[in-house]
């Protein structure tokens, strides 16, 4: 637990100062990874021991953070700040592997699973696995290390709350009828049940081939006895995510389609009773004038064919873009109220070093 | 190159790129450009809620095919049609075609497809690509434009047949995967158009995607579409006061400042865009088709037509790659002409 007093000041700085976990969420390509890194850096500047968990950073940012290749354990980034800054890049597969090892009753059970082809397929590719493992890693870091603040970047999901539902997904998977059918032979269910199962399996085998089904059965048999541990763990991950020391920060861009996705996220989070504590809008166009785009366009028409006409035309274009962006954001800022809305303008270049993070930091924290 | 010839390069064009680069608008413009060149076109959506229907001013569509833009008229354009493909529907169809109709709905509605998909990742992708292949073989249109899942997903999507051939060594899925791979790796049947914005990170990701698609899938890459370039405007480097004096106009207080700041912003962004376009050209030896940034609230049919015409102009400027022996032969055979992609 942080010793800092919990503040109700709805500012971004107070989140970085007082929370233990910040989850950056939003659709892909809106600068989530960079934002997560900036928040973590600010934490270190405020004297906290901070760790940022990134999913898929652009290569140059990864280099800047000292993340060469997948490490899956935090590495320390040295710099002139009073706190500490650590970073790690999520390795989905090895996180899943260590989870299996943790829950297995013995080495033999662990090996049986890790070597199973079906497991190797799902640990890398089951939809939601990456999300699940991001949350698992977050939980592990929170439980086993002494970070004051962990900032986690969520994977770009097609479905808004995959990352929240991911822990539940595996347990649902284990509750699934097909799973129970597959497990029936070892659980000594009545023979009649088994006949139906066999028909079902034969059909599935016909489609995907017998080997896949055999691998799957072998996996579930090896997994037997571990579900309870997994379910329990998933439950605790969910509790951590809805704890009051955890804050969700929604990251978006002002573009129409991206805002629509962000609204969807925001509404889903609200349904799950998880408040958004800050909205960060990246890549906002500047607001060059208070004149209306229409009046400016009219001036452009009046002076069409002259350089002045083109200058007006250009101004009208950007006034239109800016007013459109504000229109796009209006509904979203309403939904996230009273969370602060922080706008970060278009920058001259993409961020790939600590200095660049500092530039964004000035926009976020003033 | 003649647009009709360009679009006859392959029946299937897969449009791929990371989220936010305007993949769907490019798919729409591409389809419309082909339709204007006289080719009937079918757009296939796989993710839903893309806004494609509003771009054509039409109500949303589903698994059932709809007409998005009717052909004919003074332009003599062909129809643009569209439909959505979902793994569930494709699976039901697949099972019914393979004599398993009795179990198909139960299999899908019990959520078992998710289990099956888990057992062999890529199975949902192969169901969709299998259906695309079926539409290609029919053929359902002169040109089939597949609006692929966002990049990252696009790579695993297109890699699915190779993965499945290894994972499922016998049975209908295996043969389906082989058929799909045949289509994907045959440049006369299918090519991928990658879309990007002229910005640093999207360009980097596009280059990576291009190489992994070529190396890992063996798919043929068409021109790269660079979307969202600010159209040039002369006079932006002029001093607003001078330009006003020259035009005999009086500026409102503060106006010179706004005009200058907006002009500088655009010139700066254009310089950055040019830098990225050049970098892309250096790092990736593929021809580029460039599309203008659209300063409009929502893309509608008139914007799609503008973009389609910009694509057509870009295609006309592409040089046809000199015919190899192979192309000359296939040309002589009277089969579909190869472009030069």
Give the pTM. Answer: 0.82
Tell me how far CA of residue A43 lies from CA of A51, A134, A147, B265, in angstroms. Answer: 9, 20, 11, 33
Tell which of B123, B237, B262, B271 to mutate to test the A interface (max A CBs under 10 Å). B262
Which positions ≥6 away from A366 have C-beta within 8 Å?
none
The DSSP annotation for A140-169 comes to HHHHHS--SEEEEEPP--SSTTHHHHHHHH
> Is residue A299 located within the same domain as residue A161?
no
- Which strand ranges, in their side-by-side order, compose the sheet holding B190-196? B66-69, B80-84, B41-45, B143-147, B12-16, B190-196, B224-229, B288-292
Please tell me the total number of residues recorded for chain A in this structure: 366
Work out the minimum CA distance from A340 to partner chain B, whole angstroms.
Answer: 25
First-to-last C-alpha distance (Å) of chain A: 27
Does the distance separating the beta carbons of B51 and A310 come in below 8 Å?
Answer: no
Q: Which of A83, A56, A80 is nearest to A67 (CA)?
A: A56
What domain count does chain A have? Answer: 2
Cis peptide before A259 (omega within 30 of 0): no
Q: Do residues B12 and B287 lie in contact, with contact meaning Cβ atoms separated by under 8 Å?
A: no
Most distant CA atoms of chain A, gap in Å: 88
SS3 B9: coil
Structure tokens at A120: 């190797």
Go through chain B and tell me how many residues it has: 341
Domain extent, residue A300, equals 295-322
User: A176 by DSSP, 3-state: which?
Assistant: coil
Same domain, A116 and A257: yes
Asked if residue A177 belongs to a domain, the reply is: no
Residue A85 lies in a domain: yes
Within-domain flag for A315 = yes
Does residue A305 sit in the same domain as residue A251? no
> Coil, strand, or helix at residue B144?
strand
Same domain flag for A52 and A91: yes
Q: CB of A194 within 8 A of CB of A184?
A: yes
In B191-239, which residue ranges form alpha helices assigned H by DSSP?
200-212
A306:B235 CB<8 A: yes
- Are A93 and A151 found together in one domain? yes
Q: Say how many C-beta atoms besides its own lie within 10 A of residue B305's C-beta.
A: 18
CB contacts of B266 in chain A (<8 Å) are 314, 317-318
- Give yes or no: residues A305 and A330 share one domain: no
Partner residue opposite A349 with nearest CB, options B107, B150, B200: B200
Q: A24: domain CATH number?
A: 3.40.50.300
Considering the domain architecture, whether residues A318 and A253 belong to the same structural domain is answered as no
- Beta strand segments in chain A, E: 21-25, 49-54, 75-77, 84-89, 149-153, 246-252, 276-284, 341-345
Q: Which residues contact A133 (CB under 8 A, 6 or more apart)?
A: A90, A92, A95, A96, A99
- Do both A315 and A259 map to the same domain? no
Answer positive or negative: Cα dihedral of B216, B222, B226, B227.
negative
Both A284 and A299 in one domain: the answer is: no
**Residue in chain A lying closest to B244 (CA):** A308
Q: Is B119 on the interface with A (CB under 8 A)?
A: yes
Output DSSP code: residue B148.
Answer: P
- Indicate the helix (H) or strand (E) that contains B191: strand B190-196
Asked if B110 is an interface residue toward chain A (Cβ–Cβ < 8 A), one would say yes
Q: ipTM score of the complex?
A: 0.82
Cβ–Cβ gap B119/A58 under 8 Å: no
Cβ neighbours of B107 in A, within 8 Å:
203-204
Residue A261 lies in a domain: yes
> Measured between beta carbons, which residues in chain A are less than 8 angstroms from residue B173?
207-209
Kindly state whether A292 is in contact with chain B, defined as any CB-CB distance less than 8 angstroms: no
CA A328 to chain centre: 23
Give the CA count within 13 Å in the CB-facing half-sphere of B26. Answer: 31
Residues near A15 by beta carbon (within 8 Å), at least 6 away in sequence: A22, A39, A247, A249, A277, A278
- Chain B contact present for A29, CB below 8 A: yes
User: Do A312 and A241 sit in the same domain of this protein?
Assistant: no
Judge whether A258 lies within some domain: yes
Query: A233 to each of A96, A135, A138, A236, B154, how far by Cα in Å?
Result: 13, 11, 12, 5, 32
| Domain presence at residue A126 | yes
Residue A357 Cα distances to A67, A340, B64, angstroms: 16, 20, 48
Best probe of the B interface among A311, A327, A353, A356, by most B CBs < 10 A, is: A311
The shortest C-alpha distance from A130 to chain B (Å) reads: 13
Distance from CA of A267 to the nearest CA of B (A): 17
Instruction: Walk me through the domains of chain B, giving residue ranges and CATH numbers.
Output: 3-232+285-332 (3.40.50.300)
- Between the alpha carbon of residue A25 and those of residues A19, A151, A157, A178, B20, the distances in Å are 16, 11, 9, 33, 16
Cβ–Cβ < 8 Å for B165, B181: yes
Residues A301 and A283 in one domain: no
Scanning every residue of chain A, which has its alpha carbon at the shortest distance from the alpha carbon of B202?
A29
Radius of gyration for chain A, computed over Cα atoms and rounded to the nearest angstrom: 25
A353's CB contacts (< 8 A; 6+ apart) are A60, A64
CA atoms within 13 A on the CB side of B54: 8
Considering the domain boundaries, does residue A214 fall inside one? Answer: no
A306 and B238 within 8 Å at the Cβ level: the answer is no
Count of pairs with CB atoms under 8 A, one residue in A, one in B? 183
- Nearest residue in chain A measured CA to CA from B111: A176
- What pLDDT shows up at residue A314? 97
Give me the sheet containing A49-54, strands edge to edge: A75-77, A84-89, A49-54, A149-153, A21-25, A246-252, A276-284, A341-345
Q: Does residue A185 lie in a domain region?
A: no
Cis peptide before A338 (omega within 30 of 0): yes
Closest alpha carbon to B175 in A334, A207, A10, A199: A207
In angstroms, the CA B280 to CA B293 distance is: 18
Chain mean position to CA A302: 50
- Which pLDDT does position B62 carry in this prediction? 83
pLDDT at A333: 93
In a shared domain, residues A315 and A336: no
Query: Which whole-number Å values give the CA distances from B52 to B30, B66, B69, B87, B162, in the listed order?
Result: 12, 12, 12, 20, 30
* Residue B63 DSSP label: S
Q: Which contiguous run of DSSP H or E holds residue B312?
A: helix B301-317
B271 touching A (Cβ < 8 Å): no
Mean pLDDT, 10 residues at a time, chain A of 366 residues: 41 93 87 90 96 77 66 86 92 86 88 84 65 84 92 71 62 61 52 59 69 74 75 82 92 88 86 89 93 95 96 96 93 91 84 83 88
Q: How far is CA B264 from CA A9, A34, A287, B271, in A?
A: 38, 26, 13, 10
Per-residue pLDDT of chain B (341 residues; tens, 9 = 90+): 899 999 999 999 999 988 778 889 999 999 999 999 999 999 999 876 668 888 999 988 888 889 998 887 777 789 999 999 988 888 788 778 777 776 676 666 666 666 666 556 677 788 899 999 999 999 999 999 999 876 557 777 888 888 778 777 777 778 888 999 999 999 999 999 999 999 988 898 899 899 989 988 899 999 999 999 999 999 999 999 999 999 999 998 899 999 999 999 999 999 999 999 999 999 999 999 999 999 876 789 999 999 999 999 999 999 865 444 343 333 334 333 333 33
Q: Tell me, what's the pLDDT at B169?
A: 74
């Amino acid at each position: 637990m942080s010793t800092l007093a919990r503040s109700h000041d709805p500012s971004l700085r107070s989140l970085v100062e007082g929370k233990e976990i910040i989850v950056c969420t939003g659709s892909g390509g809106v600068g989530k990874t960079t934002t997560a890194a900036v928040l973590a850096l600010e934490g270190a500047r405020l004297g906290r021991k901070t760790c940022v968990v990134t999913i898929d950073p652009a290569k140059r940012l990864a280099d800047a953070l000292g993340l060469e290749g997948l490490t899956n354990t935090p590495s320390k980034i040295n710099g002139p700040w009073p706190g500490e800054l650590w970073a790690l890049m999520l390795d989905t597969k090895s996180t899943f592997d260590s989870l299996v090892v943790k829950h297995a009753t013995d080495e033999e059970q662990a090996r049986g699973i890790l070597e199973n082809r079906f497991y190797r397929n799902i640990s890398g590719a089951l939809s939601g696995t990456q999300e699940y493992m991001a949350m698992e890693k977050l939980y592990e870091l929170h439980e086993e290390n002494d970070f004051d603040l962990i900032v986690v970047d969520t994977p770009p999901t097609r479905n808004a709350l995959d990352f929240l539902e991911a822990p539940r997904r595996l347990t649902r998977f284990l509750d699934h009828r097909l799973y129970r059918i597959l497990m029936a032979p070892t659980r000594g269910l009545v023979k009649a049940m088994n006949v139906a199962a066999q028909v079902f399996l034969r059909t599935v085998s016909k489609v995907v081939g017998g080997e896949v089904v055999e691998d799957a059965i072998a996996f579930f048999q090896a997994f037997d006895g571990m579900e309870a541990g997994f379910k329990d763990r998933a439950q605790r991950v969910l509790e951590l995510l809805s704890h009051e020391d955890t804050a969700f920060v929604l990251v978006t861009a002002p573009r129409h389609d991206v805002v629509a996705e962000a609204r969807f996220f925001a509404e889903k989070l609200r349904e799950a009773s998880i408040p958004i504590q800050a909205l960060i809008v990246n890549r906002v166009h500047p607001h060059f004038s208070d004149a209306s785009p229409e009046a400016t366009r009219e001036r452009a028409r009046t002076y069409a064919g002259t350089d002045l006409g083109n200058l007006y035309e250009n101004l009208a274009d950007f006034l239109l873009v800016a007013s459109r962006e504000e229109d796009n954001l209006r509904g979203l800022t309403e939904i996230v109220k009273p969370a602060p809305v922080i706008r970060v303008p278009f920058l001259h270049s993409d961020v790939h070093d600590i200095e660049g993070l500092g530039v964004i930091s000035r926009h976020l924290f003033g | 190159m003649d647009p009709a010839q360009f679009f006859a390069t392959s029946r299937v064009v897969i449009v791929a790129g990371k989220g936010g680069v305007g993949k769907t608008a490019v798919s729409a413009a591409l389809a419309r450009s082909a339709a204007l060149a006289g080719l009937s076109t079918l757009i296939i959506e796989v993710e839903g809620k893309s806004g494609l229907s509003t771009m054509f001013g039409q109500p949303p569509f589903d698994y059932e095919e709809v007409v998005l833009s009717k052909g004919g008229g003074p332009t003599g354009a062909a129809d643009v049609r569209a439909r959505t493909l979902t793994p569930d529907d494709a699976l039901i169809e697949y099972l019914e075609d393979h004599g398993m109709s009795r179990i198909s709905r139960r299999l899908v509605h019990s959520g078992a497809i998710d289990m099956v998909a888990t057992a062999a990742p890529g199975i949902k992708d192969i169901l969709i690509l299998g259906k695309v292949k079926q539409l290609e073989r029919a053929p359902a249109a002169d040109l089939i434009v597949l609006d692929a899942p966002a990049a990252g997903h696009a790579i695993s999507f297109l890699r699915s047949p190779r993965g499945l051939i290894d994972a499922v060594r016998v049975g209908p899925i295996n043969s389906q995967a082989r058929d799909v791979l045949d289509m994907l790796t045959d440049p006369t049947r299918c090519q991928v158009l990658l879309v990007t914005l002229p910005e640093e990170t999207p360009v980097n990701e596009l280059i990576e995607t291009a190489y992994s698609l070529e190396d890992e899938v063996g798919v043929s890459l068409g021109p790269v579409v660079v979307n969202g370039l600010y159209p040039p405007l002369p006079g932006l480097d002029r001093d607003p006061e001078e330009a006003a004096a020259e035009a005999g106009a009086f500026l409102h207080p503060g106006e010179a400042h706004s005009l200058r700041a907006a002009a500088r912003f655009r010139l700066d962004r254009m310089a950055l865009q040019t830098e990225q376009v050049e970098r892309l050209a250096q790092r990736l030896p593929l021809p580029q088709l460039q599309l203008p940034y659209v300063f409009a609230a929502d893309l509608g049919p008139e914007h799609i037509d503008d973009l389609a015409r910009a694509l057509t102009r870009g295609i006309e400027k592409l040089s046809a790659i000199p015919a190899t022996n192979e192309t000359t032969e296939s040309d002589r055979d009277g089969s579909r002409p190869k472009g030069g992609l």
